[in-house]
């Protein structure tokens, strides 16, 4: 993004007011009652709402909640979901709370204002499982979780209220929301994994070809044929290594853009931007390096503001940069051993589209 345009706080505030659908406030008993039991909408749900601190917010994208039929619920253990003790403990964002705030949350529950003050990052992952159902099963087995999963047909699965912390990105867990986008991933060596999940039709157009062993993969749209938004294999550098990847589907970009607009509006500390180095500082390095002491590129001041020209940082942020960063970021911006969402991910498409939605007059 060479010339990012600013967006205005007033427009964001107006957008918040227009997007909120009334519901009971976020309150839980001690021990906290699972949110799936306390959300009681005042009007019939429309199938496009996410839940933040017990309140429903419209996205304009297809959403399946954890307590809906066909939803994915990370609240249960994997051994025996029907057992009385199978529900996992309420996983609150303790690391971002003061002692007084922790006591208040444990006794009275989260408020939306408190959540807005604590959550300031949206971490983008790819799942290496190709469909959200398979991703859910894999994370469950590994004892991990994420607030959102985005399937190849554009369906957003929300697996918990955003007041709850999910184990998806190490040090980012307490202050972030995460999304796993269905995509088989990026590869630096053999392309056999990609060839197993993508095929070309008679016209040379690439499509997602789920192996017979996974059936329809749990994709919600009957007979859906997923195609990457760009037909060619995308090559790029992440963490200093060249990776190749097929892009995400148009449906995924559409839903992610809408979800991003809502999250950046409802949780305004999540700035609608991605990690970019100011052009005045120079071109970002291809991988994280300490460099000479005092290197300006390693400082938080090297990060471009939304209205400043800058270039995507293709590696993990320095500790100083990460601590101060608020906005969207890839898993690879958090950890040096990660590559998702990969070189094919179109940051400008998502950010520019989300900003338009945030500033559009209602």
pLDDT at 316 over 50: yes
CA distance 192 to 236: 18
Domains in the chain: boundaries? 9-192+230-274+315-359
Averaged confidence pLDDT in the chain: 86
Q: Is the confidence at residue 24, as pLDDT, over 80?
A: no
* Cα dihedral sign, 95-122-252-47: positive
Strand pairing category for 276-278 and 310-312: antiparallel
Mean pLDDT computed over 327-355? 98
Q: What is the pLDDT of residue 321?
A: 97
Q: Which CATH number fits domain 9-192+230-274+315-359: 3.40.50.300, 1.10.3720.10, 3.40.80.10, 2.60.40.10?
A: 3.40.80.10
Give the separation between CA 199 and CA 225, rounded to whole angstroms: 11
Q: Are 49 and 38 in contact, with CB atoms under 8 Å apart?
A: no
pLDDT at 16: 38
| Rounded mean pLDDT, 180-205 | 94
As a whole-number percent, the residues of the chain with pLDDT over 90 amount to 74
Task: Report pLDDT digits (tens) over 111-127.
Answer: 999 999 999 999 999 99
Query: pLDDT (tens digit, 9 = 90+) per residue, 81-139?
Result: 555 444 454 478 889 999 999 999 989 999 999 999 999 999 999 999 999 999 999 99
118 or 7, higher pLDDT: 118
């Amino acid at each position: 993004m060479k010339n990012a345009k600013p967006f205005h706080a007033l427009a964001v505030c107006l957008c918040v007011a227009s997007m909120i659908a009334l519901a009971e406030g976020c309150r839980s008993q001690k021990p906290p009652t699972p949110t799936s039991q306390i959300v009681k909408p005042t009007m019939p749900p429309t199938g496009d709402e996410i839940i933040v601190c017990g309140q429903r917010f419209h996205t304009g994208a297809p959403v399946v909640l954890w307590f809906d039929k066909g939803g994915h619920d990370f609240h249960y253990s994997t051994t025996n979901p029907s057992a009385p003790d199978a529900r996992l403990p309420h996983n609150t964002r303790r690391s971002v709370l003061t002692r007084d705030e922790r006591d208040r949350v444990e006794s009275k529950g989260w408020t939306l204002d408190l959540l807005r003050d604590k959550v300031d990052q949206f971490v983008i992952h790819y799942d290496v499982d190709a469909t959200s159902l398979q991703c859910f099963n894999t994370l469950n087995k590994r004892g991990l979780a994420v607030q959102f999963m985005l399937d190849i047909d554009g369906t957003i699965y929300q697996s918990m209220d955003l007041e709850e912390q999910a184990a998806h990105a190490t040090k980012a867990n307490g202050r972030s929301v995460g999304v796993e986008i269905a995509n088989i991933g990026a590869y630096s060596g053999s392309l056999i994994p990609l060839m197993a999940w993508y095929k070309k039709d008679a016209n040379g157009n690439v499509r997602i070809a789920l192996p017979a062993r996974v059936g329809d993969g749990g994709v919600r749209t009957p007979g859906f044929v997923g195609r990457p938004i760009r037909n060619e294999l995308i090559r790029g550098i992440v963490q200093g290594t060249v990776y190749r990847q097929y892009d995400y589907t148009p449906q995924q970009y559409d839903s992610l853009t809408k979800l991003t607009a809502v999250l950046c509006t409802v949780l305004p500390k999540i700035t609608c931007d991605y990690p970019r180095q100011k052009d005045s500082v120079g071109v970002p390095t291809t991988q994280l390096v300490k460099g000479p002491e005092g290197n300006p590129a390693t400082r938080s001041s090297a990060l471009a503001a939304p209205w400043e020209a800058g270039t995507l940082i293709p590696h993990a942020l320095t500790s100083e940069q990460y601590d101060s960063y608020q906005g969207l970021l890839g898993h690879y911006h958090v950890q040096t051993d990660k590559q998702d969402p990969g070189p094919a991910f179109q940051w400008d498409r998502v950010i520019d589209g989300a900003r338009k939605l945030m500033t559009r007059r209602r």
